[in-house]
Amino acid sequence: MKGYLVIEDGTIYKGNTFGAEGERYGELIFNTSMTGYQEIIYDPSYKGQIVVMTYPLIGNYGVNSQDIESYKIHLEGFVVKEKSKIYSNWRAEKSIDELFKENGIIGIEDVDTRKITEILRDKGAQKGGIFTGENDPREMLEKVKNSPSIVGRDIVKDVIKEKPYIWKNEGRYKVVVIDCGVKYNILRLLSKYDLKVIVYPATTPYEEIEKEKPDGILISNGPGDPEPLTYIIKNVSNIVEKYPIFGICLGHQILGQVFGGKTYKLKFGHHGANHPVKDLKTGKIYITVQNHGFCVDINTIKDPNIEITHINLNDNTLEGIEHKKLPVFSVQFHPENAPGPRDAEYLFEKFYKYIEKNAKKD
């Protein structure tokens, strides 16, 4: 079906839509990954956003039920240069078109994704809309301009499950995952260790989490602006001195605020599987998976016990912190990969060792 991609700056592209029909709105961002489109589609951190893939051909290996990263798809729309007309992989179960139809997601192809990426690079992330069928250009643009901004909104509540659940029911130590929009591969990697893994929604009061008597706490990734999440910041502030804690992406931004830092919106965010990050302790360079539109201001963390551990080599933004006295650390990137690379998986072992060491003290 014919359709349109409309950008807030007034740019309008006519293309062919696939998946569901209707209209969808969100912040338009680009992802530079060359593979792993299914994991990107299922990443809860894309709630409120329309994803533009810079790699030109998407859908060639289909989708399957093993590589999902959440219980449902949360992104608002999907933009590609070309959707593969066929898919071929021994694990494939359906096409991306079928997946989108089943889940009410609209995609659009046959648009100039290189030019769209240039617009977002130069002007920053823009509001966008995908419309199926024929529509009046002025009306579409007006609707896009009037659509809600991602800034200042709490959209974590839109992606989390309402009740706690057990991911792994046995292990020497117990980890509580504070779910802000957790990717399943975080839970899969925790399960490789001798850990019982319980997932609690981010809205859970800290008193309920403490009743579990956890040996460690992981604060997960999630979508949107971290500043409005005062209830999560308050909860973490009450437990940060009691347990080993590992924060990932939004979890890192929460810990940054707990320790006095401020967050700000990046011009077009970091989205892709090829971002170089330097570990300041070892000097090693890791190629990382990233998906965030906000960042902790490196100059606002005044706590003398906070050590900067990782820096983004593209723009020198903050990518990791660690407390000098407490077993607490966090990273802005995604060490759980999914899609790869897997360079930073070592951080899960570090977290486990912190749990083990802290338990021996008790």
Residues 158-181 pLDDT 10s: 999 999 999 999 999 999 999 999
Cβ neighbours for 359, distance < 8 A, ≥ 6 positions apart: 173, 215
Cβ neighbours for 207, distance < 8 A, ≥ 6 positions apart: none
Strands 49-53 and 23-31 turn out to be parallel
Three-state SS letters, 325-339: CCCEEEECCECCCCC
Domain CATH for 131: 3.50.30.20
Grouping H, G, I as helix, E, B as strand and the rest as coil, residue 289 is strand
209 with 342, same domain: the answer is yes
Within the chain, which residues score under 50 in pLDDT? none
Number of C-alpha atoms within 13 angstroms, CB side, residue 327? 20
* pLDDT tens string 103-145: 999 999 999 999 999 999 999 999 999 999 999 999 999 999 9
Extract the tokens encoding 242.
Answer: 């009691």
173 with 271, same domain: the answer is yes
In contact, 146 and 25? CB cutoff 8 Å: no
Q: What is the pLDDT of residue 362?
A: 64
What phi, psi does 251 have (nearest 5°)?
-60, -35
Residue at which a domain ends, from 146, 171, 205:
146
161 with 285, same domain: the answer is yes
Q: What is the mean pLDDT of the chain?
A: 96
353 with 271, same domain: the answer is yes
In contact, 276 and 286? CB cutoff 8 Å: yes
136 with 233, same domain: the answer is no
Strands 195-201 and 306-312 turn out to be unpaired
Distance CA 281, CA 205 (A): 35
Distance CA 60, CA 320 (A): 35
List active site positions: 249, 334, 336
Q: What is the pLDDT of residue 359?
A: 84
Extract the tokens encoding 262.
Answer: 């401020």
Grouping H, G, I as helix, E, B as strand and the rest as coil, residue 111 is coil
Residue at which a domain ends, from 92, 117, 146:
146
Number of domains in the chain: 2
237 with 336, same domain: the answer is yes
